[in-house]
């Protein structure tokens, strides 16, 4: 079955409106970043007890999204599964853009923007995950470019090799991103399960976003998209990834709460604050269980609209999960004196709060704007979208 | 008006190559600039003469004009990383070059090179008691 | 594409990619560690704090540190920096009520997680064991703050309005920092500001010296008195010892 790809016309009013809005967001975000660079990061909601917040959460969210997209693309590239060919190019391009979004988010969060493009490349620290990861990320982007080029050229062997490389590299990248947190001696970070659970959530969110993006694009461009393809993405891929994610979350939290040494921290995570609500309601119920049920039930799992709804829930759930990786570990204090508690101190010693500030949100929206703009522009100038996506007989 | 689209299927490779060139060009330029030895592109401005004879300076004037930052970087690596606090210190410089405005700033403003030092390091006023930088 | 063409193009692509990715690794060949034969060799600085002597109302060490090192104070707990701080701890077990003051500062660990994770090696351990930040290189990523299990590291979120000691630089916003054991004073043969202040204005509860020298005050205190470090089970090997913890 031959799949034909064609550029988006890109001259409709909704298209131009979207481009203007996204560009505007990008400009505002850039200004917010510059302003914070000049005046100081105190304009964000971060404090000495919570030094990482929204930007890092968004960064790992974006990086995770790129994995899922790539696996979808890889199913065509590696295994030659023709039913995924219609999505292969969009997935590869989106994966590249999401990784760039992750890099941009990290970049906007640094204290010295004038040094962050110089020092990490002239002074390397092989023992630091924060130093290894940029190499993994930039390599990932380059391999995505090669893979995209191979897809355009319809070169079978190169596609296969590039696709395999990029999927393996993606697993390495996401393990590395999870390791940024897992390889650090904080009670709620330090866990060997964190890198694989990060990969599992990445695959879920990426697959869900692929569903959302493709359904929205095909509807907007008025190109036919066979229901069976969406059902394949939903029931065969997303549902499995969701179950694995749920399993990882279960084991991680059981382990932490079981062992006496980490029990207090584990129970704080599960029941100790607003983040617990995000966990139980946002991530577990809305983000994992309800979508899984919707996908496995025959009536809803074969309906495109229900699958889209489930995908939205998954993406939002994983966004909460990324926030839950970063912030609860920081708002929970380390136990410096077992059996004692600190009753007075010039700094906040106990559980603290973290709230985002307006400039921080602006920065995050700016990154989204830049990437969205690049995505829509890519659709117009490159033949990424198929003219139609029919199910293979 | 329909613009001719450069991305007809046959051209994709060339476009990707062009993008790669756009990305690599500034990197390559910076690398080449960093590797070739620097000429002395120092603007000719009137700088306040130091208090002592310039033979007493660490190096001769023509060298200092171009390479003072290299010297300072080496100094700071020695002091911070290796604890080698030798005879050449920033305080020593300020003893002869007593005014930052009439010495450092004049040339830096003319050359349009940002001075990052004095947000953290104190340059003593002429005749002030504070010695340290 | 036939096999030959594939091999040709594949090897070019591989070479190009590995070259591009490997370039940063070349910079790691340059040793960034401190040299083993410099003036810092042969010493391992440590501190012993006798909490029994620490007077409840005394803040000599805290004030001296802030004034010596230009540590930022904004009267806002979100951004205030405390290289050394005094806290009160009470036992959770009400049947055995204990209350005491503890001085918390950077422990200058022998295995510092902060130095391990700094992506640019701006935070590193000197040859004499002092963990310092090179503020010229720090990019402000705050990973060291995440990695420190003692919460002893701080970030300059805003510009420091005060400059009490013009002989020592202050930090502009955007870099991380923590206690340096007053390395600039120690290198001159003096004591850290907190130790000196405690000896003159306080009760002489702090001792600072060379842990590798068996005759130094700190070594003798560690040998003779029951000393404890904070959370020794973490494996960081801190070099601040406490008597009476």
Residues 6 or more apart in contact with residue A111 via CB below 8 angstroms = A41, C138, C139, C140, C141, C142, C155, C156, C173, C174, C175, C176
Q: What is the DSSP letter of A288?
A: I
pLDDT at B101: 83
Number of residues written out for chain C: 245
Q: With an 8 Å Cβ cutoff, is C42 touching chain B?
A: no
Q: Residue A142: which of C20, C81, C149 has the nearest Cβ?
A: C20
Confidence category of residue C202, pLDDT binned at 50, 70, 90: confident
Please list, in sequence order, all residues whose beta carbon lies within 8 angstroms of the beta carbon of residue C15, skipping any fewer than 6 positions away: none
Q: Decide if C77 and A112 are in contact by the 8 Å CB cutoff.
A: no
User: Quick one: closest CA in A to C123, which residue?
Assistant: A125
Question: Considering only CB atoms, which chain A residues are within 8 Å of C159?
Answer: 40
Put simply, whether B83 touches A (Cβ < 8 Å) is no
B55 touches chain A (CB under 8 A): no
Cβ atoms within 10 A of the Cβ of A76, count?
24
Tally of helices (H runs) and strands (E runs) in chain B: 4, 0
Supply the pLDDT for residue A21. 96
Chain A residues touching B116 at Cβ < 8 A: 114
User: Contact at 8 Å (CB) between C229 and C238?
Assistant: yes
Judged by a CB distance cut-off of 8 A, whether residue A349 touches chain C is yes
Q: Reduced to 3 states, what is the DSSP secondary structure of residue A225?
A: strand
Phi and psi at residue C123, to the nearest 5°: -95, 125
Three-class SS state of C49: strand
Predicted local distance difference test score (pLDDT) of residue A233: 85
> Distance (Å, rounded) from C-alpha A243 to C-alpha B7?
42
Q: Do C35 and B82 touch (CB under 8 A)?
A: yes
Interchain contact, B83 vs C136, CB within 8 Å: no
Residues listed for chain A: 393
Strand A5-6 to A385-386 pairing: antiparallel
Instruction: Determine the distance in angstroms separating the CA of C189 from the nearest CA of chain B, rounded to an integer.
Output: 12
All structural domains of chain A, each given as residue ranges with its CATH number in brackets, are 14-332+355-386 (1.20.1630.10)
Alpha-carbon span B23 to C175, nearest angstrom: 29
Q: Distance from B130 to chain A by nearest Cα, in Å?
A: 28
Scan for tokens 């701890």, then name that residue. Answer: C89
Confidence (pLDDT) at B128: 58
**B71: closest CA of chain A, how far (Å):** 19
Please state, in angstroms and rounded to a whole number, the distance separating the CA atoms of residues C41 and C189: 14
| Distance (Å, whole) CA C231 – CA A187 | 13
CA atoms within 13 A on the CB side of A271: 5
Nearest to B7 among A114, A149, A382 (CB): A382
Chain C residues lying within 8 Å of B132, measured CB to CB: 165-168
Judged by CB atoms closer than 8 Å, whether chains meet at C80 and A122 is answered as: no
Least confident span in A93-102, A147-156, A278-287, C87-96: A147-156
Please say whether the beta carbons of C47 and C206 come within 8 A.
yes
pLDDT in tens, C99-110: 899 999 999 999
Task: Kindly give the residue spans of alpha helices, DSSP state H, lying in chain C.
Answer: 3-27, 60-69, 113-117, 143-147, 183-186, 193-200, 217-224
pLDDT given at position B8: 54
pLDDT tens figures, C120-140: 999 999 999 999 999 999 999
| Biggest CA pair distance of chain B | 73
Q: Which contiguous run of DSSP H or E holds residue A364?
A: helix A358-381
Q: Is the pLDDT of residue C31 over 50?
A: no
Tens of pLDDT along chain B (133 residues) come to 344 454 455 666 777 787 788 778 878 877 787 777 665 566 677 777 777 665 677 788 888 888 888 888 888 888 888 888 877 777 778 878 888 888 888 888 888 888 888 889 988 776 655 544 4
Q: C157 is written with which tokens?
A: 């979120």
User: For A183-238, where are the alpha helices, taking DSSP H only?
Assistant: 194-220, 227-231
DSSP 8-state secondary structure symbol assigned to residue C53: T
CA C52 – CA B38 distance, rounded (Å): 61
Smallest Cβ–Cβ distance between A123 and the set C82, C121, C146 belongs to C121
The two three-digit tokens of residue C208, written as one number: 């600072």
> CB contact, 8 Å: C164 with chain B?
no
Here the tokens at position C224 are: 């003779």
Please report which confidence band the pLDDT of residue C25 belongs to, taking 50, 70 and 90 as the band edges. Answer: low
Confidence of residue A82 (pLDDT cuts 50, 70, 90): confident
Q: Alpha-carbon distance C84 to C47, whole Å?
A: 13
How much is the pLDDT for C35? 54
Q: Measured between alpha carbons, how far apart are the two ends of chain A, in Å?
A: 9
* Per-residue model confidence (pLDDT) at position C158: 93
- What is the least distance, in Å, from the CA of C209 to any CA of chain B? 17
Asked whether C208 and C40 are in contact (CB, 8 A), the reply is no
Interface of chain A toward chain B, CB-CB under 8 angstroms: 7, 114, 145, 148-149, 152-153, 381-383
Instruction: Decide: helix, strand or coil at residue C106.
Output: coil
Tell me the count of A-B CB pairs closer than 8 A. Answer: 20
- Note the pLDDT of residue A122: 83
Annotated domain spans of chain C: 1-30, 37-243
pLDDT value of residue B1 = 36
Q: Residue C48 — pLDDT band, cuts 50, 70, 90?
A: very high
Contact yes or no for B132 and C135 at CB 8 A: no
Residue A221 and residue A380 in contact, taking contact as beta carbons nearer than 8 Å:
no
Residue in A with minimal Cα distance to B1: A11
How many residues does this entry show for chain B?
133
Q: What are phi and psi of C162, to 5 degrees?
A: -110, 155
Closest alpha carbon within chain C to A155 = C1
Kindly state the average pLDDT of the residues A171-190. Answer: 92
Query: What's the CA gap between A302 and A284, in Å, rounded?
Result: 23
CB contact under 8 A, C38 and B82: yes
Residue C19 pLDDT grade (very low, low, confident, very high; cuts 50, 70, 90): low
Q: Are A200 and A68 in contact (CB under 8 A)?
A: no
Residues of A in contact with B5 (CB under 8 A): 7, 381
Q: What interface predicted TM-score (ipTM) does this complex get?
A: 0.91
State the pLDDT at residue C97: 85
Name which of A131, A146, A184 is nearest C147 (Cβ-Cβ).
Answer: A184
Structure-block tokens of residue A14: 């909704």
Q: Write down the residue that tokens 């003096």 correspond to.
A: C190
Q: Does the beta carbon of C39 lie under 8 angstroms from any beta carbon of chain B? A: yes
- Chain A from 96 to 115: CB within 8 A of any C CB: 109-112, 115
Among B21, B83, B117, B124, pick the best mutation site for testing chain C contact (most C Cβ within 10 A).
B83
Q: Which two tokens stand for residue A273?
A: 């604050």
Chain C residue nearest residue A129, CA to CA: C117
Give how far Cα A87 sits from Cα of A5, A92, A225, C138, C162, Å. Answer: 10, 9, 11, 42, 58
- For residue A334, the Cα-to-chain-centroid distance in whole angstroms is 28
Whether A51 contacts chain C with CB within 8 A = yes
Identify the residue with better confidence: C54 or A393. C54
Strands (E), chain A: 5-6, 340-344, 385-386
Q: Are A389 and A225 in contact (CB under 8 A)?
A: yes
In the predicted structure, residue C24 carries a pLDDT above the cut 70 = no
Q: Which of B5, B9, B16 has its CB closest to that of A149? A: B16
Q: Which residue has the higher pLDDT, B10 or C225?
A: C225
User: How far is it, in rounded angstroms, from Cα A19 to Cα B40?
Assistant: 47
B9 in A contact zone (CB under 8 Å): yes
pLDDT for residue B3: 41
Q: What letter does residue C41 receive in the DSSP assignment?
A: T
Chain A interface includes C10 (CB < 8 A):
yes
- Burial class of residue B111, CB neighbours in 10 A (0-12, 13-18, 19+): exposed
User: What is the rounded CA–CA span in Å between residue A275 and residue A186?
Assistant: 17
The shortest CB-CB distance from B80 to any of C128, C134, C165 is to: C134
Cβ distance C49 to A301 under 8 Å? no
C244 lies within 8 A of chain A by CB: no
C37-243 in CATH: which number? 3.30.70.20
* Burial of A147 from C-beta contacts in 10 A (0-12 / 13-18 / 19+): buried
CB-based contact A7 B7, cutoff 8 Å: yes
Residue A97 CA to residue A92 CA, distance in Å, equals 9
Average pLDDT of A268-286? 94
* Res. C170: pLDDT tops 70: yes
Q: How many angstroms away from the CA of C32 is the closest CA of chain B?
A: 9
B26 touches chain A (CB under 8 A): no
């Amino acid at each position: 079955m031959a799949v034909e790809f064609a550029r988006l016309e890109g001259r409709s009013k909704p298209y131009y409106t979207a481009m203007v809005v996204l560009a505007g967001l990008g400009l505002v975000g850039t200004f917010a970043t510059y302003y914070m660079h000049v005046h100081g990061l105190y304009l964000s909601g971060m404090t000495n007890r919570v030094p990482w917040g929204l930007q890092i959460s968004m960064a790992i969210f974006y990086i995770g999204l790129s994995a899922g997209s790539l696996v979808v693309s890889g199913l065509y590239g590696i295994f030659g599964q023709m039913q995924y060919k219609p999505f292969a190019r969009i997935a590869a391009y989106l994966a590249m853009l999401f990784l760039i979004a992750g890099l941009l988010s990290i970049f906007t969060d640094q204290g010295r923007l004038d040094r962050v493009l110089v020092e990490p490349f002239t002074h390397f620290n092989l023992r630091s995950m924060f130093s290894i990861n940029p190499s993994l990320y930039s390599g990932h982007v380059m391999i995505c470019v090669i893979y995209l080029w191979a897809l355009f050229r319809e070169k079978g062997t190169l596609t296969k090799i590039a696709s395999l490389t990029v999927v393996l590299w993606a697993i390495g990248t996401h393990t590395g991103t999870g390791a940024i947190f897992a390889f650090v001696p904080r009670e709620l970070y330090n866990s060997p399960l964190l890198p694989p659970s990060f990969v599992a959530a990445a695959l879920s969110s990426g697959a869900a976003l692929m569903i959302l993006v493709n359904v929205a694009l095909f509807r907007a461009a008025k190109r036919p998209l066979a229901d069976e393809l969406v059902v394949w993405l939903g029931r065969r891929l997303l549902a499995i990834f969701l179950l694995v994610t749920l399993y990882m979350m279960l084991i991680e939290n059981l382990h932490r709460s079981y062992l006496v040494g980490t029990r207090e921290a584990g129970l704080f995570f599960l029941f100790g604050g607003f983040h617990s609500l995000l966990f139980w309601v946002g991530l577990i119920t809305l983000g994992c269980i309800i979508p899984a049920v919707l996908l496995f039930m025959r009536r809803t799992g074969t309906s495109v609209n229900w699958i889209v709804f489930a995908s939205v829930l998954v993406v939002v759930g994983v966004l909460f999960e990324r926030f839950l990786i970063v912030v609860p570990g920081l708002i929970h204090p380390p136990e410096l004196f077992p059996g004692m508690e600190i009753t007075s101190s010039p700094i906040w010693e106990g559980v603290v709060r973290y709230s985002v500030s307006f400039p921080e949100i602006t920065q995050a929206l700016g990154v989204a704007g830049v990437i969205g703009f690049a995505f829509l522009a890519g659709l117009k100038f490159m033949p990424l979208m198929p003219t139609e996506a029919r199910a293979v007989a | 008006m329909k613009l001719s689209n450069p991305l007809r299927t046959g051209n994709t490779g060339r476009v990707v190559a062009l993008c790669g060139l756009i990305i690599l060009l500034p990197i390559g330029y910076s690398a080449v600039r960093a590797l070739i030895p620097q000429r002395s592109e120092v603007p000719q401005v009137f700088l306040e003469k130091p208090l002592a004879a310039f033979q007493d300076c660490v190096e001769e004037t023509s060298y200092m004009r171009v390479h003072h930052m290299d010297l300072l970087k080496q100094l700071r690596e020695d002091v911070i990383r290796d604890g080698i606090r030798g005879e050449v210190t920033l305080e020593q410089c300020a003893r002869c070059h007593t005014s930052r405005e009439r010495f450092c700033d004049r040339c830096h403003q003319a050359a349009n090179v940002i001075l990052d030092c004095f947000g953290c390091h104190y340059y003593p006023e002429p005749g002030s008691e504070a010695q340290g930088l | 594409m036939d096999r030959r063409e594939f091999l040709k193009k594949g090897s070019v692509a591989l070479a190009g990619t590995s070259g591009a990715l490997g370039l940063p690794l070349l910079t790691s060949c340059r040793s960034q560690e401190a040299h083993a034969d410099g003036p810092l060799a042969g010493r391992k600085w440590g501190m012993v704090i006798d909490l029994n002597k620490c007077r409840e109302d005394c803040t000599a060490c805290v004030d001296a540190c802030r004034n010596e090192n230009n540590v930022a104070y904004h009267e806002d707990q979100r951004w205030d920096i405390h290289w050394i701080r005094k806290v009160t701890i009470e036992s959770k077990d009400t049947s055995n009520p204990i209350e005491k003051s503890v001085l918390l500062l950077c422990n200058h660990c022998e295995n510092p997680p902060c130095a391990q994770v700094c992506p640019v090696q701006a935070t590193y351990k000197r040859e004499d064991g002092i963990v310092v930040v090179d503020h010229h290189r720090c990019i402000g990523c705050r990973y060291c703050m995440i990695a420190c299990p003692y919460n002893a590291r701080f970030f300059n979120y805003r510009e420091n309005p005060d400059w009490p000691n013009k002989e020592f630089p202050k930090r502009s916003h955007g870099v991380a920092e923590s206690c340096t054991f007053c390395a600039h004073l120690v290198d001159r043969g003096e004591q850290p500001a907190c130790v000196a202040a405690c000896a003159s204005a306080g009760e002489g509860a702090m001792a600072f010296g060379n842990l590798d020298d068996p005759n130094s005050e700190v070594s003798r205190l560690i040998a003779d008195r029951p000393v404890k470090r904070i959370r020794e089970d973490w494996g960081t090997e801190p070099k601040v010892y406490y008597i009476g913890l």
